[in-house]
Every structure is written in structure tokens, then in C-alpha cells.
Amino acid sequence: MNYQNILEEIQEEIKPFLEEGALADYIPALENVNGNDFAMSIITLNGEEFHIGCSDKNFSIQSISKVFTFTLALQNYGRKLYERVGHEPSGDPFNSLVQLEYENGIPRNPFINAGAIVTTDRLISIYKDNTFHEVLKFIKNASNYNTIGYDEEIFKSELSHGFMNLALINMMKSFKNIDNETNRVIETYFKQCSILMTTKQLAHAMLFLANHGVNPLTNEVLVSESKAKRINSVMLTCGHYDASGDFAYRVGLPGKSGVGGGIVAIVPKKMAICVYSPKLNKQGNSLVGTKALELFTTKTGLSIF
């Protein structure tokens, strides 16, 4: 199949939708982007690459970082991780305190904010002050790009507006589901969200999940085959907050979105995809990104269903 042609068709067809949606506005730093930006990258297991749009432009990966921290925590803790965070869809918006209170401070899954904060706490218990460094090292290694960093302005901005996440972590602390000092955990968490990457880099970084845990380009084992499958299943059922069912329904691929406008998706045994467009739909996922992925699976038939 000629993926480059398909990307070009998609770029054409999403144009009318670039007007819709709205930039994330909860922190000023995220508003300083071009609302009309669009990029999409495909990398196949044998290393073929297809790109369109601004695929070398950095953007804030935000919640896509949750895939990396979940992978790293699962690597380290295995099943024991699930004593602290579940793997069920939440059925509620991404920052729901309600569910967390009814469920005694155990977040539903590692892809809602509370769950990712717990995951970060788990990593800090191992890596201490090196935690952010280790997360970044994992990403650099998985993507094979060595220059990845984070945006200090976005990080500071998140920190000074992160009251709801402070509410979440303090509530979990009160249920004894956070072991480390809350400020330290929340700072590490926000630094992870502030990592800057391009669609090209993110597609590379996700390849191991399309290939049973092994980076097909370097043959490095990043996670076991069974864990890779399970990370994919959690992306499918929980990767898009309370629109996860709709994403599975429309796109039919495991994926994870970030409020910065990026979405990654996996075609098991075939490829990794990343799309970027910063305006969001009502559920907080990239509006054009979701549309582009829907067009992609319709055109290629590459759904897992």
C-alpha cells in the first residue's frame, strides 16, 4: 500500500476540520502554538518512514508520556503495580475525584491523571532523584533520538496551575497510595508532561509496542512480549479518557492522546503512527488527529477488529 499517497489524501481531507476545536487553555504556555499545524508520521516495522506536515516540529507530549512511565513501571513492578493502579476504563472525565474517592484512592488506570501520578510515585521509589532522567533516557532509547528534552516554561506553567492534580495527589496520599513527598512527585509528573517531541520521534518511540516489546530497528528488548500486548490493551480501553470507547469505535487501534495535540497509535505487527494537531475536541483529544486516524484506518482497513 502506498502510505505516502494516503497521508497526502488525509492532509487534504482534514483541512476543513482545522477550523474546529479549541486550543488547550488551562495554561497560557499551551496556547502559544499554531492552531493550524498538522503533522502525521508512520514508521513500519522494517523501518520505512512516511511523513506529512510539520513532522519535525516539537510539541508538548503531555499525557502521551503516560505510556512511557506505565511501561517503565510495569517493567520494574510487574503485576504488583496493580495493587496501586487498576487497568479498567474509568467511564469518567480524566480528573474525576469522585471515582477516586469511592474507590479508596486507587485510580482506575495508568492513563488518567491520578493513575499516572501513582505511576510516577512508583518510579520515584526506585529511581529517587534520577526519576525524570530515567524516563527521558527510556524515551531517548526507545526513539533512538538523543536530543529530546522538556520545556521549562510549560513545566512552570503546569506547576502554578495544577490545583486539580494537587487535589488528586493529596487525596491519594490520604488513602496512603502515594509513598513519596507530594511536591516531588507532582514536579516529576509535570516535567514528564512537558517533554517536547516531534511526530517523527514519537512514532519511532512507539515502535516497540507494535513489535512485541522489541525495537525492530535496534533489536533491543524494551519490555516482554506479554507486557507489550497488555500495554496495547490498556491503550485501547483507556487511552482517551471518557472517549476511549469512541476512539476504539471510530479508529479501532490502541492509542494514547495528549492535551498538547498529539496522538500515538499502534498497528500491532505492522507500524506505529503519530499525528499532531493542537486543537481539541470536547473530550480533550486532538480533533483533527482523531479524524486523521479514522481516515487512515478506513482507507487502509488496518483496524485490529
Catalytic (active-site) positions: 63, 66, 189, 241, 259
Using N-to-C axis directions, what is the helix angle for 65-77 and 182-193, rounded to 10°?
130
Binding segment toward a copy of itself, per CB under 8 A, in 52-60, 61-69, 129-137, 222-230: 222-230
Question: Side-chain half-sphere of 191: how many Cα atoms within 13 Å?
Answer: 17
173 binds a copy of itself (CB under 8 A): yes
- Contacts of a copy of itself in 255-294 (CB under 8 A): 268
How near is the Cβ of 249 to a copy of itself at its closest, in Å? Answer: 5
For 57: left if phi > 0, alpha if psi spans -120 to 50, otherwise beta; the answer is beta
| Residue among 126, 128, 101, 96 at smallest CA distance from 112 | 96
Task: Give whichever of 97 and 126 is closer to a copy of itself, judged by the CB atom.
Answer: 97
**Residue 16 and residue 290: Cα distance in Å, rounded?**
14
Binding segment toward a copy of itself, per CB under 8 A, in 2-10, 62-70, 130-138, 225-233: 225-233
Using CA atoms, how far residue 275 sits from 5, 41, 100, 150, 195, in Å, is: 16, 6, 31, 19, 16
Binding segment toward a copy of itself, per CB under 8 A, in 58-66, 120-128, 152-160, 229-237: 229-237
35 binds a copy of itself (CB under 8 A): no
157 binds a copy of itself (CB under 8 A): no
| Residue among 263, 271, 256 at smallest CA distance from 304 | 271
The grid coordinates of residue 105 equal 484512592
Of 62, 120, 194, 237, which one interacts with a copy of itself (CB under 8 A)? 237
Using CA atoms, how far residue 254 sits from 53, 63, 89, 118, 202, in Å, is: 23, 15, 13, 22, 15
How near is the Cβ of 78 to a copy of itself at its closest, in Å? Answer: 13
Residues that bind a copy of itself (CB under 8 A): 86-92, 96-102, 108-109, 163-164, 166-168, 170-171, 173-174, 182, 226, 228-230, 232-234, 236-238, 242-246, 248-249, 252, 254, 268, 298, 303-305
